[in-house]
């Protein structure tokens, strides 16, 4: 079972992470006009794509070979994985800067000239963050997030007070990443990691898991970000800004999903390594139903409050984002708990190729649907396409996971009333004290 205190810490940490994203978006939309905000959202979409590629390459292997191992083995895993992480980011940063300076895509060459000042510190910060999460040291990863938020808030205040250009946000985010990484290094035995040896055999195993992860993240992240790219290319930067704001609010709904999945994967790995199929089924259905019920509540609250919040934080010009947000929230609330947990199960069962294949096919469907619907329907096509794609993936993965692990998606929905009753009872007891 996942410790309840760790879930709370994880939710808190992800809440801080969301505050970071919201603070950035609020500053960008208030300080700059819609067209500049749209350009920033394209920059963030590309940054997120490349970040997910790197993390897809390193994360699965890092968790798989560091959870439940002896200290000296874990140190070798850390060192090998850390070096791969840095080399990957240096290579990607050089390629990105070169391509944008050469081709000047989306008129973003000025922003991407400074890309490494954010991407490299962020790669180090995220690696340490994942290390703590893989060992369920969520309180330490939360402290890192808090440091990030403090530095970012200071930089944002300077940007607002001095009316600095949007490129200064890159310097601010880079500084915040560096400070958080510095704190993170002192919260675990980094020196033991650096003193350990580089393991070539382990490197090959990490690459084996990494190639599936990077392929999955490439197709998956392109699929989720394609709507931003297509809107910028086929419509306008102003409409891209509306979509970008809506997607940022969807991140609120992903707070519980991210928190649960980060804790669920290491637990599923331990259960799968013990070959206990019955416990695997019980843990999956119990945790996913709990997450599903929570996300439905959060989605309802955000939909009700979104018109007022968007006007207050971003201005009345961003009202078109409200309808986009409602459809996106429905999509995420219903389907994301299953998709993420399905990936955790098949990776725990050492079948990463199965997850990669599903993500690739779903991504191809979403990209095709997005292009078709944005071209014919317009901006709303950018949110209808993911809903149709996720519905298809939900049916497909539900069939596969029942066959491989006897897990029922239907049972997850059936357990939701029990969790609501339990939460209401706990609230009543707390109020009665």
pLDDT tens-digit map of 17-62: 778 888 888 889 888 888 889 889 889 888 888 888 887 777 666 6
What angle is formed at CA 52 by the lines to CA 360 and CA 272, rounded to 5 degrees?
70
What angle is formed at CA 246 by the lines to CA 242 and CA 249, rounded to 5 degrees?
145
How do residues 378-413 score in pLDDT, each as one tens digit? 999 999 999 999 999 899 988 888 887 788 888 888
Q: Which of 338, 335, 303, 337 is nearest to 321 (CA)?
A: 303
Q: Which of 353, 342, 345, 330 is nearest to 394 (CA)?
A: 342
How do residues 119-174 score in pLDDT, each as one tens digit? 999 999 988 887 777 666 777 888 888 899 999 999 999 998 888 988 999 999 99
Which are the contacts of 208, defined by CB distance < 8 A and separation ≥ 6?
Answer: 61
What's the pLDDT score for residue 265? Answer: 67
If you average pLDDT over every residue of the chain, what do you get? Answer: 81
pLDDT of 296 > 80? The answer is yes
Half-sphere exposure of 191 (CA within 13 A, CB side): 1
Cα→Cα distances 53→141, 234, 340, 362, Å: 21, 25, 16, 17
What's the pLDDT score for residue 158? Answer: 92
What's the pLDDT score for residue 116? Answer: 92
- Biggest CA–CA distance in the chain, Å, is 66
How many domains are there within the chain?
1
pTM, entire model: 0.74
The residue among 335 and 431 whose pLDDT is bigger is 335
Angle between helices 277-314 and 321-348 (to 10 degrees): 160
Alpha-carbon gap, residue 297 to 294, rounded angstroms: 5
Please answer whether residues 408 and 350 qualify as being in contact, where contact means their C-beta atoms are separated by less than 8 angstroms: no
DSSP states of 108-175: -HHHHHTHHHHHHHHHHHHHHHHHHHHTT-HHHHHHHHHHHHHHHHHHHHHHHHHT--TTHHHHHHHH
Per-residue confidence band for 104, with pLDDT thresholds at 50, 70 and 90: confident
The parent domain of residue 160 ranges over 4-432
Alpha-carbon gap, residue 405 to 399, rounded angstroms: 10
Mean pLDDT of 233-239: 89
What's the pLDDT score for residue 421? Answer: 85
Alpha-carbon gap, residue 302 to 251, rounded angstroms: 11
What's the pLDDT score for residue 232? Answer: 87
What's the pLDDT score for residue 257? Answer: 73
What's the pLDDT score for residue 433? Answer: 66
**How many other CB atoms are there within 10 angstroms of residue 162's CB atom?**
8
Per-residue confidence band for 71, with pLDDT thresholds at 50, 70 and 90: low
Q: How many helices (H) and strands (E) does the chain have?
A: 16, 0
Tokens of 9: 């810490």
3-state DSSP assignment of residue 350: coil
Tokens of 79: 């060192």
The conformation of residue 316, written as its DSSP 8-state character, comes to: G
How far from each other are the two terminal CA atoms of the chain, in whole angstroms?
27
Alpha-carbon gap, residue 298 to 21, rounded angstroms: 18
**How many other CB atoms are there within 10 angstroms of residue 283's CB atom?**
21
Please answer whether residues 133 and 165 qualify as being in contact, where contact means their C-beta atoms are separated by less than 8 angstroms: no
Per-residue confidence band for 323, with pLDDT thresholds at 50, 70 and 90: very high
Q: Which of 396, 400, 253 is nearest to 331 (CA)?
A: 253
Residue 259 dihedral angles phi and psi, to the nearest 5°: -65, -45
Alpha-carbon gap, residue 42 to 225, rounded angstroms: 9
Tokens of 200: 């070539």
Specify the range with the lowest mean pLDDT, choosing from 190-199, 247-256, 366-375: 190-199
Please answer whether residues 63 and 269 qualify as being in contact, where contact means their C-beta atoms are separated by less than 8 angstroms: yes
Region label for 188, one of left (φ > 0), alpha (ψ between -120 and 50) or beta (otherwise)? beta
Mean pLDDT of 305-321: 89
Specify the range with the lowest mean pLDDT, choosing from 121-130, 300-309, 343-352, 378-387: 343-352
Per-residue confidence band for 73, with pLDDT thresholds at 50, 70 and 90: low
Alpha-carbon gap, residue 299 to 305, rounded angstroms: 10
Q: Which of 337, 249, 246 is nearest to 294 (CA)?
A: 337
Mean pLDDT of 10-21: 75
DSSP states of 182-206: HHHHTTTTHHHHHHSPP-HHHHHHH
């Amino acid at each position: 079972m996942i410790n309840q205190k760790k879930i709370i810490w994880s939710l808190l940490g992800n809440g801080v992470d969301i505050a970071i994203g919201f603070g950035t978006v609020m500053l960008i939309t208030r300080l700059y006009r819609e067209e500049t905000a749209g350009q920033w959202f394209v920059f963030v979409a590309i940054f997120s794509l490349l970040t997910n590629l790197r993390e897809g390459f390193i994360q699965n292997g890092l968790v798989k070979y560091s959870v439940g191992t002896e200290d000296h083995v874990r140190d070798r895993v850390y060192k090998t994985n850390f070096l791969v992480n840095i080399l990957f980011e240096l290579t990607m940063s050089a390629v990105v800067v070169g391509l944008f300076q050469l081709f000047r895509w989306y008129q973003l060459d000025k922003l991407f000239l400074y890309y490494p000042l954010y991407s490299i510190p962020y790669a180090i910060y995220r690696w340490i963050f994942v290390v703590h999460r893989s060992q369920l040291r969520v309180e330490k990863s939360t402290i890192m997030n808090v440091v990030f938020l403090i530095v970012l808030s200071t930089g944002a205040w300077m940007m607002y007070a001095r009316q600095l250009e949007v490129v200064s946000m890159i310097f601010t985010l880079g500084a915040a990443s560096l400070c958080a990484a510095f704190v993170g290094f002192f919260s675990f035995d980094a020196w033991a990691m650096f003193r350990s040896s580089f393991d070539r055999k382990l490197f090959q195993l990490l690459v084996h898991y990494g190639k599936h992860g990077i392929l999955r993240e490439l197709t998956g992240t392109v699929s989720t970000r394609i709507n931003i790219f297509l809107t910028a290319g086929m419509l306008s930067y102003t409409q891209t800004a509306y979509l970008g704001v809506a997607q940022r609010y969807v991140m609120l709904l992903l707070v519980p999903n991210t928190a649960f999945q980060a804790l669920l994967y290491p637990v599923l790995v331990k259960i799968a390594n013990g070959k206990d199929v019955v416990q695997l089924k019980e843990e999956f259905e119990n945790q996913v139903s709990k997450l599903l019920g929570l996300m439905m509540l959060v989605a309802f609250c955000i939909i009700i409050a979104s018109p007022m919040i968007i006007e207050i934080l971003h201005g009345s010009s961003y009202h078109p984002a409200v309808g986009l947000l409602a459809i996106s929230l429905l999509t995420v609330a219903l389907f994301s708990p299953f998709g993420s947990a399905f990936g955790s199960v098949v990776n725990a069962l050492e079948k990463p190729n199965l997850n990669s294949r599903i993500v690739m096919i779903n991504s191809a469907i979403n990209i095709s649907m997005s292009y078709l619907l944005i071209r014919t329907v317009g901006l709303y096509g950018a949110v209808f396409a993911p809903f149709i794609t996720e519905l298809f993936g939900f049916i497909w993965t539900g069939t596969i996971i029942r066959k491989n692990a006897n897990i029922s998606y239907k049972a997850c929905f059936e357990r939701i009333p029990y969790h609501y009753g339990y939460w209401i009872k706990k609230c009543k007891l707390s109020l009665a004290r």
